[in-house]
Amino acid sequence: MKLSKKYLIPTVLGFLGLSSPTFAATPTGVSNYTPNNHGKSVTTPVAWGASNNVVFMGAGGTYHSPYSDKGDGAAVLGFGLGDPKKNVGVQVTFMSLDISHWGEYSSAIHLSRDLGNADAIGVGVENIMLTDGGDSGQSYYVVYSRASQDPSVINPKTNKSKLHYSVGVGKGRFSDMSPKDKEHGKGEHGTYAFGNVSYEVYDTCNVITDWNGMNLNAGLSKSFMIEKIPFAVTVGVADLTGYSGDGARLVVAGGFGFKL
């Protein structure tokens, strides 16, 4: 299956390593209020990344795929090394782009740095193809993320921030419309800029909205523990506006991580 139909999926899975500080890289700067443990994005990167010998894995899918009446799925395996507080965290991710055939694989690299006070910056590259197949080039980005320190958005039960946001710029999937979008008169380029905002509701999950340079997306993310292993689930709706694709679609991802 061509990657133009599924370039959304690998980033939906990205929350497994990028957005769940319980098993990724909780910022440990001078702030008293770290980010909460739920996912913070549906389709866009955040600066926080897996580090400190963390391994994560999961799977996800969308229904339906853009310009198709069929669903689509992908799987991810990754690990994080280094220390973003002392130097740099390094997250490496491997993805199967089509779990129905297991024939197309890609990778991604994300570098993160803790700036203190619940701020972080990250740079990365996605869609480094490891096999033949796929018709989308590599995507590069830089992103800044922050967990708000305002007392009004601190959860007194967990002592963590409820409000998080990220802003970034990138090329590739953040800037170039798919061939199908171009055929349907959607134009050739997006905004290059992307961002996400998440807010914890009822101490249970984050409500999320994001703009990925092409379209608006929204969802919910929840993390929970099973036998001391953190799991995370995100459910969302992608392509809420008419800027790309052929209508709104369901996206779902889930997975877990552990520290070696």
SS (H, E, C) 125-169: EEEEECCCCCCCCCEEEEEEEEECCCHHHEECCCCEECEEEEEEE
**What is the model's pLDDT at position 3?**
39
Residue type, 33: Y
Tell me the pLDDT tens digit for each residue of 64-119. Answer: 888 888 888 888 899 999 999 999 999 999 988 877 778 889 899 999 999 988 99
Top pLDDT among 153 and 16 is at 153
Of the candidate CATH numbers 3.40.50.2300, 2.40.50.140, 2.40.160.40, 2.160.10.10, the domain formed by 3-255 belongs to 2.40.160.40
Is residue 63 over pLDDT 90?
no
**What is the model's pLDDT at position 135?**
55
Is residue 28 over pLDDT 50?
no
**What is the model's pLDDT at position 11?**
44
**What is the model's pLDDT at position 209?**
95
Q: First CA to last CA across the chain, in angstroms? A: 35
**C-alpha triplet 7, 220, 46: angle, nearest 5°:** 55
CA-based nearest residue to 8, from 92, 67, 89 = 67
User: In which band, very low, low, confident or very high, does the pLDDT at 17 lie, cut at 50, 70 and 90?
Assistant: very low
**What is the model's pLDDT at position 164?**
95
Instruction: Give the length of the chain.
Output: 260
**What is the model's pLDDT at position 61?**
85
Structure-token pair, residue 1: 């299956």
Q: pTM to 2 decimals?
A: 0.90
Going from N- to C-terminal start, the domains of the chain cover 3-255
What residue spans of the chain are helical by DSSP H?
8-12, 15-18, 179-183
Residue type, 134: G
Query: Which residues 6+ apart lie within 8 Å of 219 measured at CB?
Result: 42, 207, 208, 234, 235, 236, 237, 251
Instruction: Give the full edge-to-edge strand order of the sheet including 154-155.
Output: 34-35, 160-161, 154-155
Cα separation, 20 vs 49, whole angstroms: 9
CA-based nearest residue to 92, from 112, 73, 72 = 112
**What is the model's pLDDT at position 212?**
93
Residue type, 101: H
